[in-house]
């Protein structure tokens, strides 16, 4: 038998597991070839090594082979090539349309995540390289808002560091990241991938020191360099609050720093973003309740007008002088009685002891049924 202290400790552990915190949804975005899928694979392997199995979702319908097992795979639901044939689309249009179709059933994905929220601490979501899905398409908004309204959610933008050594290319990546940040309105982490090829310190220096970036731009003489110089002034505020981590998805370096930044992003969500989503949810609930009340008020008015018309057909002591709720119950009872009786002539000519003015009451009920049938 366990000692009393051990029993108390076991009870605390059971209570903690019963009220386990909601899983953190990590939405991995990035351009094609930036290493998103490899990064998700490395994250999943790292978490499995810590005996913290994540819940993995693949949203890329055009991927041939996944290097990790996915709990939910969009390819099992939407056939990418069939979508292209049916709608006459190209590769990019087929991917966007496939994700739009999948987003219409994302409520089912949310139910699966809710069932596993006590077993998985993290939900890893791999996305296609078509960033326009989450910047311009409706599916990106549906997915991010559905996740963020129920779970702590963080957007991770994976960036190919080896291809960003040119200041103009670097600025293009930063503009993409900025657009995604303001579109999703969620905590944001920039993962500078492929640090095994080139260290990301140069990019961090460009973000922190404006003059260093200007010196790199001075080597460029095109019109785009002048535009980039102007845009770099605009992004200073964006850089000041941006979380940046250098990672090698191939070697697995930098993951500890990534999870430190992820923890800070979750705290930021709880502090700044969750209250906003709670406010939006309450606003939506109030709007829905208001709409329901207005519909009920219209229904009561309609029912009241029917009762007034019924009173003109019968005397003051007639059974038709009932409220709307009694009328609905009576009408339901009459419908059940009509289903039991096959001969409608018997019902029409049936006279009860309680109703002394049966013809007027019968006319009133017939008018009521005709009104609701219309």
| pLDDT tens-digit series, residues 39-51 | 999 999 999 999 9
Band of residue 12 on the pLDDT scale cut at 50, 70, 90: very low
Whether residue 272 is contained in a domain is answered as no
pTM of the model: 0.71
Cα–Cα distance measured from residue 365 to residue 359, given in angstroms and rounded to the nearest whole number? 10
Among the ranges given (67-71, 118-122, 320-324), the one the predictor scored with the smallest mean pLDDT = 320-324
pLDDT tens-digit profile of 328-353? 444 344 444 444 444 444 444 444 44
pLDDT band per the 50, 70, 90 thresholds, residue 273: confident
Helical (H) or strand (E) element with 100: helix 91-103
Structural domain contains residue 321? no
Q: Is residue 44 part of a domain?
A: yes
Residue 319 placed within a domain = no
In this prediction, residue 290 carries a pLDDT of 82
Q: What is the mean pLDDT of residues 271-296?
A: 80
Dump pLDDT digits (tens) for 354-370. 444 455 555 655 665 56
Strand ranges (E), the chain: 24-30, 55-58, 72-73, 122-126, 153-160, 188-193, 243-246
Query: What pLDDT, on a 0 to 100 scale, did the predictor assign at position 81?
Result: 92
The pLDDT, as a whole number, for residue 122 is 96
Is 371 within a domain?
A: no
Greater pLDDT, 198 or 365: 198
Q: Are 175 and 231 in contact (CB under 8 A)?
A: yes
Q: Find the mean pLDDT for residues 257-274.
A: 92
Does 70 reside within a domain? yes
Q: Which of 247-251, 318-322, 325-329 has the lowest mean pLDDT?
A: 325-329
Task: Using pLDDT thresholds of 50, 70 and 90, give the confidence band for residue 58.
Answer: very high
Q: Which of 147, 136, 232, 159 is nearest to 187 (CA)?
A: 147
Expressed as residue numbers, the domain containing 165 is 24-267
Give the pLDDT confidence score for residue 214 in this predicted structure.
86
Task: Look over the chain and give the mean of its residue pLDDT values, rounded to a whole number.
Answer: 79
108: Cα separation from own chain's centroid: 11
Residues 318, 361 contacting (CB under 8 angstroms): yes
C-alpha gyration radius of the chain: 31
In total, how many domains does the chain have?
A: 1
207 found inside a domain = yes
* Cβ–Cβ under 8 Å, residues 139 and 99: yes
Percent of the residues in the chain that have a pLDDT greater than 70, as a whole number: 75
- Could you read off the pLDDT of 226-235 as tens digits, one per residue? 788 888 887 8
156 pLDDT above the threshold of 90? yes
89 or 296, which is more confident: 89
CATH of the domain at 69: 3.40.50.300
Report the pLDDT value the prediction gives residue 14, as an integer from 0 to 100. Answer: 44
Residue 297 domain-assigned (yes or no)? no
Which of 122-126, 288-292, 319-323: highest mean pLDDT?
122-126
């Amino acid at each position: 038998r366990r000692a009393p202290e051990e029993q108390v400790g076991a009870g605390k552990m059971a209570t903690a597991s019963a009220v386990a915190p909601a899983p953190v949804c990590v939405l991995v975005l990035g351009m094609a070839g930036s290493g998103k899928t490899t990064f998700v694979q490395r994250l999943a392997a790292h978490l499995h090594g810590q005996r913290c199995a994540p819940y993995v979702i693949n949203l890329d319908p055009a991927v041939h082979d996944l290097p990790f097992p996915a709990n939910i795979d969009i390819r099992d639901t939407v056939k990418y090539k069939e979508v292209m044939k049916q709608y006459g689309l190209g590769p990019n249009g087929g991917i966007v349309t496939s994700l739009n179709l999948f987003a219409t059933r994302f409520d089912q994905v949310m139910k699966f995540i809710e069932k596993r929220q006590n077993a998985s601490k993290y939900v890893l979501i791999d996305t296609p390289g078509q960033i326009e899905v989450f910047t311009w398409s409706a599916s990106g908004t549906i997915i991010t808002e559905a996740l963020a309204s129920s779970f702590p959610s963080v957007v991770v933008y994976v960036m190919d560091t080896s291809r960003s050594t040119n200041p103009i290319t670097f600025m293009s990546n930063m503009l993409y990241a900025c657009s995604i940040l303001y579109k999703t309105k969620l905590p944001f982490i920039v993962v500078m991938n492929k640090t095994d090829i080139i260290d990301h310190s140069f990019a961090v220096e460009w973000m922190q020191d404006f003059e260093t970036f200007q010196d790199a731009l001075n080597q460029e003489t095109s019109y785009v360099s002048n535009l980039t110089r102007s845009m770099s002034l605009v992004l200073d505020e964006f850089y000041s609050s941006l979380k940046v981590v250098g990672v090698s998805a191939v070697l697995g370096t930098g993951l500890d720093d990534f999870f430190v930044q992820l923890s800070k992003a979750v705290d930021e969500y709880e502090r700044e973003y969750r209250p906003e989503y709670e406010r939006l949810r309450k606003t939506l609930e109030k709007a829905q309740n208001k709409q329901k009340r207005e519909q009920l008020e219209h229904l009561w008015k309609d029912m009241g007008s029917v009762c007034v018309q019924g009173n003109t057909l019968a005397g003051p002591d007639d059974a038709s002088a009932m409220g709307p709720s009694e009328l609905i119950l009576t009408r339901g009872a009459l419908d059940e009685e009509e289903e039991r009786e096959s001969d409608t002539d018997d019902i029409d000519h049936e006279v009860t002891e309680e109703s002394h003015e049966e013809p007027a009451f019968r006319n009133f009920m017939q008018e009521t049924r005709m009104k609701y049938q219309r």
